[in-house]
Structure 1
Amino acid sequence: MNHSTPQIGIVILAAGASTRMGSPKQLIEWQGQTLVRRITEVALATEYRPIVVVLGANKTSITAELEGLPVTLIENPHWEQGLSSSVKMGLAGVYMTKKEFDAVLFLLVDQPKVDQALVEHIIATYQENDKGIIACRYGGKPGVPALFDRKYVEELLSLDGDNGAKWVMMQHRDDCLEIPFEDGAIDLDTRQDVDKFLS
C-alpha cells in the first residue's frame, strides 16, 4: 500500500426505518446532537471525501438534520429491500462524486461511540497493511465500521436482501484485518437499548 494519502469515500448508512424503535433512531439525541448529525460530523472531521449519506425511511426529517453540511445525500428508494440496497446506493453516490478512489469506509448511524480517532485508525491500518478489508471487531466477530478496498466494489454491488458489507467480510476472512472496538456492540435497535445507553 502506498503511503500517500489514500482516496477514500465514506458511506453513512442511514436509510433504515427503525421499526423496532417506533421512531427514527437517526434522530435520537445524545450529547446535544442527533445521531445522524453526529456521525456525519465525525466523517467531516477527517480529510476524506466524498461523504455520502444514504437516506430512505424518514428522509425529510433526516435531511433537515444535515442541512448545510457538505455531504452528498442519496435517496435509496428500495430501502425496504434490506441493507444491500443501501450499500449499493452508497457506492453509487461515491462513484458519482469521484470516479477514482482506493477504498470505501462504511459507517452506521446507531453506533454512537464511533469517533474521528477510530475512523482515522481504520484508514491508517489500511495504509500500513496489505489487507483489502479493515473491520472493527466486537462481540467476537468482525463488523462495521469497515473499510473495503476498491477490488471488493463489484462484490458489494452484487449483494442482495439483508446481506450487507458484513457478508463480504465473512467470505474473505483471510484478507480482513480486525481492529478491536468493543463499543461497536452498542447498537441502538429498541427503545430499551436507547434508554440503557442514555442512562
Structure 2
Amino acid sequence: MTAPRHALLLLAAGGSRRLGQPKQLLRLDGETLVHRAARLGLATAPAEAIVVCGANADAIRDAVADLPLRKILCSAWENGLGESLAAGLGALSPTIDGALVVLCDQPALDAGHLLALRDAWRGDPARAAASAYGGVLGVPALLPRGWFAALAGGGHDRGARDLLRSHAGQVHAVPAPPLADDIDTPAQARAATGGSLGPNPAQE
C-alpha cells in the first residue's frame, strides 16, 4: 500500500513584535531558527515543502535558500497566524493528503518528534496528529486534508490550535512536554537556550 503523502508547511511570516527582532533569524548553535525548523521538517521526507514568508520576507528566503523549499508570500501576515496557514494550505497540490505545520520558535523541537507525528498520522490519515504539551494540543501538527477547508479562510490568530482542541477526539496526541517553551521575548530566548541564542550576524 502506498503511504499517504504529506507536505511540510513552515510558517515563518510573523513580525516578532514582542521579541523586537525577527525570531526566525536568531541563531541557535550557529543556525538560524528558520533554517533549523526547515531542516528538521525535511527529515520527514515530505512530498512538498513550503515556507510561508511575510515580515522580513527577503531575509527569510535568503536564510533557507540552500534548502528545497518553495517560498510563498502571505501579504496579510499581520492579520494573524491563521492567514499564513491559509496561504500555505492554499498553495499545496491536490495530491497532498496532509500538512505538517511547523513553527520557528520551539528550540526543543527535534526530528524524532516530527517523525513520530508523521508516523502517527500515517496510521490513520483521516485524523490529525498533534503535539501534546502544557495540557493542550498544538503544533507541530500534521493536519489531514479533510481539515483544510475549515482553515482556508484565515482571519484568526491561533492557526490550527482551536480546531485541534475542538476536535480532540479526532487527534492522535504525541507527547512533547519540552515544546511548551517557545520564544516570544528576549527573556524567553535566553532561558530557552541558556544564552546560546544570538542574532543573525547580517542583522547586527
Please say whether Structure 1 and Structure 2 have the same fold, judged by a TM-score greater than 0.5. Answer: yes
Give the secondary-structure state (helix, strand or coil) at the position aligned to 2:91. Answer: helix
Stretches of structure 1 lacking an aligned partner (at least 5 in a row): none
User: Which of the numbers 68, 71, 76 marks the counterpart of 1:70?
Assistant: 68
Q: 2:122 aligns with which of 122, 127, 142?
A: 127
Q: State the match for 1:36 in structure 2.
A: 34
Matches within 5 A, 1:139-150: 139-150=134-145
Identity %: 32
Alignment of 1:4-153 (within 5 A): 4-94=2-92, 98-129=93-124, 132-153=127-148
* TM-score (normalizing by structure 1): 0.92
Give yes or no for the alignment of 1:164 onto 2:159: yes
- For residues 184 and 176 of structure 2, what CA distance do their matches in structure 1 show? 19
RMSD: 1.4
Q: CA deviation at 1:14?
A: 0.5
- Pick aligned residue for 2:181 from 166, 186, 191: 186
CA distance in 1, matches of 2:18, 2:107: 18
Q: Is the 8 A contact 2:164 2:171 kept in 1?
A: yes
Greater shift after overlay, 162-171 or 13-22? Answer: 162-171
CA distance, structure 2, for counterparts of residue 90 and residue 187 of structure 1: 22
SS of equivalent to 2:16? coil
Deviations 1:159-192 (CA, angstroms, capped at 9, x unpaired): 4221311111122111112111011111000000
- SS of 1:13's partner is strand
TM-score by length of 2: 0.90
Give SS of 1:12's match: strand
Instruction: Give runs of ≥4 in structure 1 deviating > 3 Å.
Output: none
Runs (5+) with no aligned partner, structure 2: 195-204
Aligned partners of 1:135, 1:99: CA distance in 2, in Å? Answer: 22
- Matches of 1:113 and 1:132, distance apart in 2: 25
Query: Which residue in 1 is equivalent to 2:198?
Result: none
CA contact (8 A) 2:90 2:152 kept: no
**Shift, 1:122, TM fit:** 0.5
Once the two structures are superposed, residues 29-61 of structure 1 have per-residue CA deviations (whole angstroms, 9 ceiling, x without a partner) of 101101001111112222112111011111121
CA distance in 2: counterparts of 1:128 and 1:66, whole angstroms: 31
CA distance in 2, matches of 1:175, 1:164: 17
